[in-house]
Every structure is written in structure tokens, then in C-alpha cells.
Amino acid sequence: MDWGAIFGNAAVELISPTTAAYALAALGLAVHFGYTGLLNFGQAGFMALGAYGYAISILTFGFPVWGAFLVGVGASIVFALILGVPTLRLRADYLAIVTIAAAEIVRLLFTTNTFASVTGSANGLSGYKNEFAALNPLAPGRYGFGPFENNAYDTWLRIVAWSIVILAALLVWQIMRSPWGRVIKGIREDEDAVRALGKNVYAYKMQSLILGGVFGTIAGMIFALPRAVVPSNYQTTLTFFIYAILLLGGAATVLGPIIGSMIFWVLLSFFSGFVARAVEAGWLPFMTTVQGGQLRFILVGVAIMLIVIFRPQGIFGNKKELAFVR
């Protein structure tokens, strides 16, 4: 049993760019669901727009990194507007289903053969990393220590990714302490009360949708940079995992999405590492390694159920402020 490798691989997840991407997407969802009470189940769609927006801008249109970034963010805002118009007047349950539908439409548009020349259809896109790598101020070499050692590109990616996460966290923290945040929290609990006090509820919900959506889109870009953009990554299950992270950490908190993402990935990695080696070592004769991988996700599902029943405020949340348990 190579415990060193198991723990090492798990520890690495603490700062991996995937963890950062999920943390950022969860932060966006915190704005939507935790603070505003919008049941947005289409966060995967926002992430897909970010990943594809960035990749297509670089590959097909030859934009520089900043241009590609802005294209992604722009697409996100447009998507939020299109999504918001029909959905923000709907009840929570309807909103959930329509947002899933919208995200699936986005994914299917990226998967279809019709646009294959631009989107790569089911195969996706790759080969867009060079422009980002070119911005790297670090000299080639290895940085870090122990299991946290990485080459220059990976280190640069981590620095950028986590800087964005921290900036986003500060932004959310500040804005939720302001009068704007107060209106949002009021809307979460009772829209009509807020409306009766002279606030344009629809506009606030739209702003929240756009803000959280932009976070999701940037998360999608960060997610795509260490790997290829493949449409099958952006299915509804992705949104469900982000909800799992959000609920674990605390839906209406700033630290929750970040710590939740770290815990999620560390545990997932630890578990799969452990089970894989246990099966190899013959400790679990009734299981194959493949099944070990599936067991992880069974446990994620069970964990979601347990968290929402027994500790819906998550790790950092405040039970007195929880709106969705009414």
C-alpha cells in the first residue's frame, strides 16, 4: 500500500486548477442560489460557454488571450440575458428545469456535427494553450516542493487560477455586505415584500444571474486550460457536483465554495487512490478498480443527501439565514 502516493496525490488536489475552477463555479452558484435563491441548474452551460468561447476565439479567430477572455465573458452575459428573460419570472421548480434545458441546448449545439468545423463537435477542441503559456513570466524550470512541484506552465496556471478565485471571493464578500446584497437577501426570502418597498426585483435577479454566470464562465476557461474542451464534460452532472460542493461548504458563504471544492477533490482523489490500491492488493476481492471508481460517485450522491437533510447550512453556513429550508 503506497500511502505516500495516496496522500500525495490527494494533497495535490488542494491547489490544482480543477479545484480552483470548481471553486469559482461554486462561488457563482453561491451568488445565484445561496444569496439570491435562484435555482440555477444550468451552471454547466455557463462553463461550457467559457471554455468554448475561449478556445474558439483563439483557434478560429486568432484572438489574443485578452480578446478570447472577453469573448467568453460577453457570451456569458448574453446567455444570462437570454436565460433570464423567460425564467426569472418563474417559480423555483420551473426555473430549475428550464435552466437545465438551456444548458443542455448549449451543450447539444456544441456537440452537433453541424458546427463541427468550429466546435470540433463530439471530439472537442484542443491546442489553445500556447497563447496563455506565452504570458507566463516564470522562467522554465520546476517550482514548489514535494508533491506540490510543477513545471513553469502548471505553476503559472495555478497562480492565475487561484488569484482569480481570491478576487472573486473578495468581490462577493464586499457586495453581499452592501445595500445591494441586502436587497438580494431580501429577494431570496420574499420577493413581494421587497417589491412593496420599491425595489425592481427583476433587475436585481438579472444582475445576480449575470454576476454568478460570469464566474461560471471564467471557471470554465480555467477548467479547460489544463485539458481539452470536450462537450461531454459539461453535462448536467457537472452542475450537480458543483451543487454538492456548494452545499458542503455552505451555500450562502464566501469560504464555503472554496473550502468545499478543496475537500471534495481531496477526498475524491484519496478515495479513488485508496480503493484502486486496495483492489490491487487484494483487500477487496469482490470489487474491480472500475467499480471502485463508480463507488466514489455513489458516495457523492449519498453525501449530498445526508448534507442537505442533516446539515443544510454546510460547514460555514448560518442556519438562521438559510432561505431554502423554509
Partner 1 sequence: MSASAIPHDSSAPLEPPVPTQKPIKTTGLHIGDAVPGCRKVDPILVVDNVRRTFGGLTAVDVEHVEVPRGAITALIGPNGAGKTTLFNLLTGFDKPDAGKWTFEGRSLSGVPAYKVARMGQIRTFQLTKALGLLTVMDNMLLGAKEQVGENLFRALLPFLWRNQEADNRVKALDLLTRFKLDAKKDDYAASLSGGQRKLLEMARALMSDPTLVMLDEPMAGVNPALTQSLLDHILNLKSQGMTVLFVEHDMHMVRHIADWVIVMAEGKVVAEGDPHEVMKDPAVIDAYLGQHHDEDIGEDSESETEHVSAVKELLDDER
Partner 2 sequence: MLAILLLSLLTALTMATFSVSSANADEVGTEYDYTITGNVQFNGDALDGVAIALNGNGYRADTVTDADGKWAIGVPEKGTYKVTLDEDTLPDGVIVAKGGNVIEAEFGLTNRKSVNFFLGEGTRNTVNFFDQFVNRFVNGLNFGLLLALAAIGVSLIFGTTGLSNFAHAEMITFGALAALVLSVNLGLPIWLAILIAVVLSGGLGFGLDAVIWKPLRRKGVAVIPLMIVSIGLSLALRYLYQYFFGGSTSQLPGAGMRDLQFGPVSLSPIDLASMGISIVVLLAVAYFLLRTRIGKATRAVSDNPSLASASGIDVDNVIRIVWVVGAALAGLSGVLWAYFRPGVSWDMGFQMLLLVFAAVTLGGLGTAFGALVGSIIVGLFVELSTLWLPSDMKIVGALVILILVLLFRPQGILGRKERIG
Candidate residues 107, 158, 185, 205; the one interacting with partner 1 per rule CB under 8 A: 185
**Closest CB to partner 1 among residues 1, 85:** 85
What the block records as the C-alpha cell of 286 is 469482490
Candidate residues 230, 255, 263, 267; the one interacting with partner 2 per rule CB under 8 A: 230
DSSP structure class, residue 151: E
Considering the complex, what minimum distance in angstroms separates the CB of residue 177 from partner 1? 8
What the block records as the C-alpha cell of 18 is 480543477
Binding mask 246-285 for partner 2 (x = CB under 8 A): -x--------------------------------------
Contact 1, 224 (CB under 8 A): no
How far does CA 313 lie from the centroid of its chain? Answer: 19
Q: How many other β-carbons are positioned within 10 Å of the β-carbon of residue 168? A: 23
CA distances from 263 to 11, 20, 48 (A): 10, 12, 24
Q: How many other β-carbons are positioned within 10 Å of the β-carbon of residue 256? A: 26
Considering the complex, what minimum distance in angstroms separates the CB of residue 203 from partner 1? 9
Candidate residues 138, 197, 281, 298; the one interacting with partner 2 per rule CB under 8 A: 298
Contact 68, 54 (CB under 8 A): yes
Contact 54, 128 (CB under 8 A): yes
- Which residues sit at the interface with partner 1, rule CB under 8 A? 171, 174-175, 178-183, 185-186, 188-190, 192-201, 207, 211, 320-323
- Which residues sit at the interface with partner 2, rule CB under 8 A? 39, 85-87, 89-94, 96-98, 100-102, 104-105, 108-109, 111-114, 122-124, 126, 192, 228, 230, 232, 236-237, 240, 243-244, 247, 289-291, 293-295, 297-305, 308-309, 312, 324-326
